[in-house]
Amino acid sequence: MTVTPLATRVIPPLPRRWRGRYLIERNILGTKSFWPVLLSGFFEPVFYLFAIGVGIGQLVGDVQVGGVLVEYRAFVAPAMLAASAMNGAVFEATNMFFKLHYGKVYEAILATPVEPTEVASGEISWTLARGAMYSAAFLAVMAAMGLITSPLGLLAFPASLLIGFAFGALATAAVTWMRTWQDLDLITLMILPLFLFSATFYPIDVYPDFIQIVTWVSPLYHGVVLIRGLTLGILEWTMLINIAYLASLGVIGSVITARRVKSVLLK
């Protein structure tokens, strides 16, 4: 007679697949009771689009992009889409602070076969999911307003996923170093200037030379340029640099998060 080990009966064996998906399932179940809160970050870019893109756009007129004149609201809308992806990923990443230091959620999870690296990848994937929700909703708003002027605009959604990946990975990595709730204000302090000075409301060439150099470091700027080119149908080879930059930041952030989560939880 074959005897089943006690550990196998207590902890059902999991296939050697990515177990980070269980973090996503847990987060989905945990947000069912307050899902409207998830939509809060979506409305800010929409308000900016109507207040500035549509309102001030009546005064500004057309803007030149890649040698082509476009409506001001068509210039601003892609930037707001990129900001939606950023907001969704970053806002969700901040929730990791409570789980890590107060809720002791991960200590319980590590009692299962889930490993610290899978905890990190699962949480980053969840931030990406929230960013994807914001992006899809905002893309629908743009389509309804007629602000997608090229079939290439369909690629704006995967581009927004790349933006969410970069910001989600960097934000979760940053959260692992935070020790108090006040530290979360530092994330807001970083996000606001990125939002305002990433060629969101006006072309980068209106900045002084020094600000242009600093702007090139901004992940949001690369996301804005990428999505703007796709929605307007203006393709340039430099978009490959934008893609490579965002992907690199996402990978770097993921590696740092995995190491930090392992260090914090197993210390």
Is 149 inside a domain boundary? yes
pTM: 0.86
Q: Which two tokens stand for residue 91?
A: 């806002």
Is 28 inside a domain boundary? no
Give pLDDT < 50 ranges for the chain. 1-15
Quick one: pLDDT at residue 150?
A: 86
Tell me the CA distances in angstroms from 31 to 35, 38, 49, 121, 145, one per residue in order.
5, 8, 28, 19, 31
Quick one: pLDDT at residue 16?
A: 52
Is 22 inside a domain boundary? no
Quick one: pLDDT at residue 267?
A: 67
Is 2 inside a domain boundary? no
Q: pLDDT by residue (tens digit) across 184-221?
A: 888 888 888 888 889 888 888 888 888 888 889 999 99
Is 31 inside a domain boundary? no
Rounded to an integer, what distance in angstroms lies between the CA atom of residue 123 and that of residue 24? 7
DSSP-assigned beta bridge partners for residue 69: 64
Are 161 and 246 spatial neighbours (Cβ–Cβ below 8 Å)? Answer: no
Quick one: pLDDT at residue 38?
A: 60
Is 15 inside a domain boundary? no
Quick one: pLDDT at residue 1?
A: 43
Quick one: pLDDT at residue 21?
A: 81
The residue segments making up the domain with residue 144 are 39-265
Q: 149 in the Ramachandran plot: left (φ > 0), alpha (ψ -120 to 50) or beta?
A: alpha
Is 132 inside a domain boundary? yes
Is 246 inside a domain boundary? yes
The number of C-alpha atoms within 13 Å of 158 and in the hemisphere containing its C-beta is 6
Alpha helix ranges (H) inside the chain: 6-10, 21-30, 35-38, 40-48, 57-60, 72-101, 105-109, 116-144, 156-175, 184-196, 209-215, 219-232, 239-265
Report how many domains make up the chain. 1
Quick one: pLDDT at residue 4?
A: 44
